[in-house]
Amino acid sequence: MKNIIVCVKVVPKTEDVSFDPVTKTLDRSKAENQINEADKNAIEYALVLKEKYGGNVILLSMGPMFFEPFLKIGIAMGADDAILLSDRAFAGADSYPTALTLASAIKKIGDFDLILCGEESSDAGLGQVPSQVAEFLDLPQALFVSSVEIEGNKIKARRSVKGGYEIVELPLPSVISIELGINQPRFPDFKRKRWADKEFKIKVWNMKDLGLNENIVGLRGSYTFVNRFIETEPPKRLRRYIEGSPEEQAEKLYEVIKEIIE
Amino acid sequence: MIDAWVYIEHDSGEIEDVSLEIVGRLNEIKASLPLRITGFSFGRDPGEIPRKAISQGVEHFIFLRNDLFSFYDTQSYVNGIEGIVRERRPDIILLGATYQGRDLAGRLAARLKTGLAANAITLNIDEKGLLYTGVPGYGGRFIAEIVNMKARPQISTVRQGIFRKLPQDNSRSGEVENIEVKFGDFSPRLRVVERVRKDVKDITKSERVVIIGNGAGNNLKPIEDFARLIGADIGVTRPVADRGLAPRDIQVGSTGVSLNSKLVIIFGSSGSNHFVSGIERCKNVISIDVDRNSNIFNYSDYCVVADMFTILPYLNRRFGGQ
Ligand SMILES: Cc1cc2nc3c(=O)[nH]c(=O)nc-3n(C[C@H](O)[C@H](O)[C@H](O)COP(=O)(O)OP(=O)(O)OC[C@H]3O[C@@H](n4cnc5c(N)ncnc54)[C@H](O)[C@@H]3O)c2cc1C
């Protein structure tokens, strides 16, 4: 097997993001960042495939330079290489220019058999990048996949459909999105982490390296704009505690449920 | 006239509810705007699909016919619809945020060089035909209202269980076009070799739902008994579905479904944002968790701090079980 490319994003922890009611914007400044959960599942899956079929795992991410240490976590998990697509012009991209930029980098890498993505990111959660990367590369796709087997130059992938799953057969290379939560991502290897932090150099490619221009990347290359943010008001709940011994609690709960049902 | 198309997704002729829910919402908008609602489907044989869709508020139906459409391959479907979209230039294309709808929408938007919003929970259109979609982010804590002023069609997927479909009315009429799609030398590179599916309950419409959280471990039986005794359907949190104990279709939350129940009872969930966004629209919420500080209690009307396995036997007996 040749290279497995894994598309990775760094996202703020959901719980840490707050809403500024005055400016009506999101405040991510106090948020801790992490590798997007589904992408971690994809990295883990790529490493499993590498162990089984060989090849190198290359992490690919578009984002600011502060993504570097997160990509090194992926390296410490066992990935062989990491490429960060970083350029001021890439900022503010919606899914279209994001996928276009990733696809340009994948073309530049050239030598690959499989592209894995996480099913969606935990921030915007659109889940559209895998499909659009596949379109820009003119490759077949299978999304929401929980396992992959490779036989010769064919892949058998299990993808979720309503009420169950399908086993689909695709050629290599193809684009696959990995379902969130399908595995337990391994911990970074301690020694490898030290090596990665000290010696490993992440490749950084900018717009020129990819042969792109300002009009098709980042905010200018985007089609959608956020008109406004609305903070959702969770509905007011009674928050009434039912206390007592378990038996008493059960009895009170019975009364409450009865009343609601009737 | 604003031209809005809705993907009428079907599985062997059975239409997805979310497709009709979108049609329902467009009919509400149509009350105050000149809007034409077109449905489109792919398949081998239209059967009853166009008639059913029309009886639920579609005014014009396009059925794209080809033998290749008997299974779902993203590229076949995108190639199949591309020509007619380019020719007729709809202002808006909406799809249900199902597995298939989400798979199709991204590729279609990239092909048509246009923007895309996903998983919308609000839909509005202004008199200029601009589509405003409310897209939940960060597990549903915020809604970003998204608009595409740059290109047409404006494409979005729409979350299921949010809008109401119209009651069926067989006296509604509409025009049906059957179009035979010609592919030239394209042949699909994806092949479905096996299909395993069960009918699953659509819990977005259930009046009572009992939710199994991760705190239940692998011991689902007492909760399932309880649900049966009070006549409730079962839902689960994400980790329970991840562990394969329940199908993803009954997972509640930002990557699952949203409930609209009168009563929901939750056993052993920590109440993360990604989960609670799915119970926002429920009328009465009861939670049972051993941890007094569980965040789920902030989203509950009745809070029971208890070990579920201690309390469930009493409850089940009280409701007439063993
Ligand atoms: C992109 C993304 C999307 C996601 N989408 C969803 C989604 O759609 N739906 C969803 O649910 N999650 C989703 N999640 C996951 C979510 O963030 C949480 O991890 C998940 O909801 C936790 O599930 P839980 O509350 O059941 O489990 P836990 O967080 O493990 O909580 C278990 C609870 O059970 C209690 N407990 C333990 N034992 C007992 C006992 N014997 N009796 C009573 N209580 C007990 C504990 O005190 C604890 O509060 C998503 C995450 C991401 C990143």
| A238 lies in some domain | no
Among all residues of chain A, which has the CA nearest to that of B272? Answer: A15
CATH of domain B203-318: 3.40.50.1220
Interface of A with B in 144-163 (CB under 8 A): 144, 156, 159-163
Domain that holds residue A169: 3-210
Name the residue among B56, B63, B28, B49 with its Cα closest to residue B178. B63
- B106/A95 Cβ within 8 A: yes
Residue spans of alpha helices (H) in chain A: 37-53, 68-77, 95-109, 129-137, 190-198, 246-261
Q: Number of structural domains, chain A?
A: 1
| A240 lies in some domain | no
CA–centroid distance, residue B118 to ligand 1 (Å) = 24
Q: What is the pTM of this model?
A: 0.94
| A257 lies in some domain | no
Q: Does residue A216 belong to the interface with chain B, where contact is any CB pair within 8 Å?
A: no
| A236 lies in some domain | no
Please give the Cα distance from A260 to B163 (Å, whole number): 25
From the list B190, B208, B241, the residue facing A168 with the nearest CB is B190
Specify whether the CB–CB gap between B91 and B34 falls below 8 A. Answer: no
pLDDT digits (tens, 9 = 90+) for A219-257: 999 999 999 988 878 889 999 999 999 999 999 999 999
Q: Which residues pair with B41 in a beta bridge?
A: B63
CATH architecture for residues B2-180: 3-Layer(aba) Sandwich (3.40)
pLDDT digits (tens, 9 = 90+) for A92-112: 999 999 999 999 999 999 999
How high does pLDDT run on average in chain B?
Answer: 96
The encoded tokens of residue A126 equal: 């659109």
| A88 lies in some domain | yes
- B149/A127 Cβ within 8 A: no
Q: Is B228 in the pocket of ligand 1 (CB under 6 A)?
A: no
Task: Say what the ipTM of the complex is.
Answer: 0.94
The amino acid present at B114, given as its one-letter code, is: T
- As a whole number, mean pLDDT of residues B180-197 equals 94
From the list B132, B137, B319, the residue facing A124 with the nearest CB is B137
Per-residue pLDDT at B139: 76
Q: Is B255 in the pocket of ligand 1 (CB under 6 A)?
A: yes
CATH number at residue A87: 3.40.50.620
Q: Is B214 in the pocket of ligand 1 (CB under 6 A)?
A: yes
Exposed/middle/buried for residue A82 (C-beta within 10 Å: 0-12, 13-18, 19+): buried
Q: Does residue A11 belong to the interface with chain B, where contact is any CB pair within 8 Å?
A: no
Which residues in chain B have their CB less than 8 angstroms from residue A242's CB? 302-304
| Pairing of the two strands B35-43 and B2-7 | parallel
Residue intervals in chain B for CATH 3.40.50.1220:
203-318
Name the residue among A117, A182, A173 with its Cα closest to residue A150. A173
| A233 lies in some domain | no
The answer, yes or no, to whether residue B322 has pLDDT greater than 90, is: no
Strand runs (DSSP E) across chain B, as ranges?
2-7, 10-11, 14-15, 35-43, 60-65, 92-96, 116-120, 122-125, 131-137, 142-147, 154-158, 175-180, 191-197, 208-212, 233-236, 263-267, 284-289, 302-305
